Amino acid sequence: MVIIMCGGYYDNFKEHKSLSIINGERLVERTIRLLKENNVKDIYISSNDDRFKEYGKILKHENTYRYENGIIKGYWVDAYYPTEEPCIYLHGDVYYSEKAIKTILNYKPKINTMIGNQWALNIEHKKVGEPFGWIIVDQEKFRNAINECKRLQDENKIERGYAISWELYQVLNGYDVNGFDIDIYSYLPIYDETDDVDSPEKIDILNKKIGGI
């Protein structure tokens, strides 16, 4: 089971980040195509945006995270659709290479594992690392970590004020929530052009880099 996360709102984008076009193809379309080419049949899109209905089966849920007048409200970690079974969560705003998708699908972790770029293995990963998703084998432990992130956020114990992937990773592994710990047993690094579209400028960069546009 693969869940593509396509939630969120992005004021500085002309349209939803997951609908960004790289090399003539929307990100969500590319991810779905690559998954199907690797014989994945159980593909779902986690989003409350009806525009994604044309791309596949939608999982609608209460994602409480929002940004209002410069103030963060709700919890980013609610973006992970709650399910009881093991699954792969892929971030919808990531351009995945064919090799990356194969690597993710063929990886057989024994514990919950974050997927991200190789730069995250650097001690300064919060500055240069990009998270791409998760391979979850123990949903109960994952949900407990999500709830713990919410508690820490409510108590203002998360430095950046909201729980994002790195903070969730730290909590899940029993590390300092504001620390910089990454280990090879619970992190799958991707060593190629796979990249997160975190700004409109990144769309142009990737198109020039990958598509030669």
Nearest-CA neighbor of 171 among 157, 192, 184, 185? 157
Residue 85 to residue 139: CA distance in whole angstroms: 7
With a CB cutoff of 8 Å and minimum separation 6, the contacts of 103 are 188, 190
Query: How many other C-beta atoms are found inside a 10 Å radius of the C-beta of residue 176?
Result: 9
Residue 186 to residue 170: CA distance in whole angstroms: 10
* Contact between residue 133 and residue 90 where contact means Cβ atoms under 8 Å apart: yes
Q: Determine phi and psi for 3, rounding to 5 degrees.
A: -115, 120
Residue 188 to residue 168: CA distance in whole angstroms: 15
Residues belonging to the chain: 213
First to last CA, the chain: 34
Residue ranges in the chain modelled with pLDDT below 50:
213
Task: Give 15-27 pLDDT, tens digit per residue.
Answer: 788 998 988 999 9
Q: At 21, which helix (H) or strand (E)?
A: strand 21-22
The predicted model scores a pTM of 0.92
DSSP 29: H
